[in-house]
Structure 1
Amino acid sequence: MSATDTIRRYFDAFNAKDTEAMLACLDAEVAHHVNEGQVRTGKTKFAEFCAHMSHCYDENLTDMVVFEAEGGTRAAAEYTVNGTYLATDDGLPAANGQTYRLPAGSFFTLKDDKITRVVTYYNLADWIRQVG
């Protein structure tokens, strides 16, 4: 399986709101670098993050473009996040069903068809402006 195939499976699972299928794409010790946050290590921490995000946000990714480096150990994706802010997240503006649309990207390291590192980026100031 190519890195592109793995990344597409991961994002298809995200859009389907299927955390278990996302976890199946990850290495047991995945390093998850979230935007404006700490690195979380392991599938358990990743699943906890997903549960929190599903409580606060309803998101769907569109305009997906996946890039793969030679050798298949690195990949990146650029996409648009289309979301609804469902429940107030700590330290952020109050939620009341605001919608938002953000350009975003993710960077990946892969080994043996599993994602070992995920780095996600979006412009937090733009998001705050849209929901504030």
Structure 2
Amino acid sequence: MTSPAARTDAIALLARYYAAFNAGHWEGMLECLSDDVAHDINQGERVVGKAAFAEFLKHMERCYKERLEDIVLMASEDGTRASAEFVVHGEYLATDEGLPEANGQTYVLPAGAFLAIAGGKITRLTMYYNLGDWTKQVVG
């Protein structure tokens, strides 16, 4: 049975998650995730679990400084599926394995995410952005 507040609750969860991202509050992001969260990394593998996600955040913090703007959040009526569209404003801080050399390049990149939600937590996060566009911006 669908609760009338399900969509609102899902949007509020995503708002907390992305506010924590923009604040650099990794613990706040992790609090929004289920223990067995599945994270589909853009053009990469699926990793499972909060511990794996925490390691991903450490890696991202080392290589990138990012802020999301123009965030639009959407959710299904039953609150089990959601999406986010945003523009990433970033700085490439340290060379990421297999990618061009970093020297503080900045980039602006449209991106999006599809999410699954259960029990008031994000259970799946699938990220999408155009890696070719990002590469063109950082290679110059």
Q: TM-score w.r.t. structure 2 length? A: 0.93
**SS of aligned partner of 2:123:** strand
CA drift at 1:70: 1.1
Work out whether 1:61 is the aligned partner of 2:68.
Answer: yes
Partner of 1:27: 34
Deviation at 1:22, TM superposition (A): 0.3
Specify every segment of 5 or more residues in structure 2 that has no aligned partner in the other structure, as ranges. 1-7
What is the CA–CA distance in structure 1 between the aligned matches of 2:79 and 2:98, rounded to whole Å? 38
Q: For residue 112 of structure 1, report the CA deviation from its aligned partner.
A: 1.0
Alignment TM-score, normalising by the size of structure 1? 0.99
Q: Which amino acid aligns with 2:124?
A: R
Partner of residue 113, structure 1: 120
Q: How big is the alpha-carbon RMSD for the aligned residues of Structure 1 and Structure 2? A: 0.7
Identical columns (%): 54
Which residue does 1:39 correspond to in 2? 46
Alignment match, 2:3: none
Q: 1:88 is paired with a residue of what secondary structure?
A: coil
**Partner AA of 1:87 in structure 2:** A
Q: Deviations over 1:34-69 (max 9, x none)?
A: 101110100000000000000000000000000011
Q: Which runs of 5+ in 1 are unaligned?
A: none
Give 2:115's aligned amino acid: F
CA deviation string 1:50-108 (max 9, x = no partner): 00000000000000000011100010000000000000000100000000000000010
Q: Which amino acid aligns with 2:16?
A: R
Residue 81 of structure 2 corresponds to residue 78 of structure 1: no
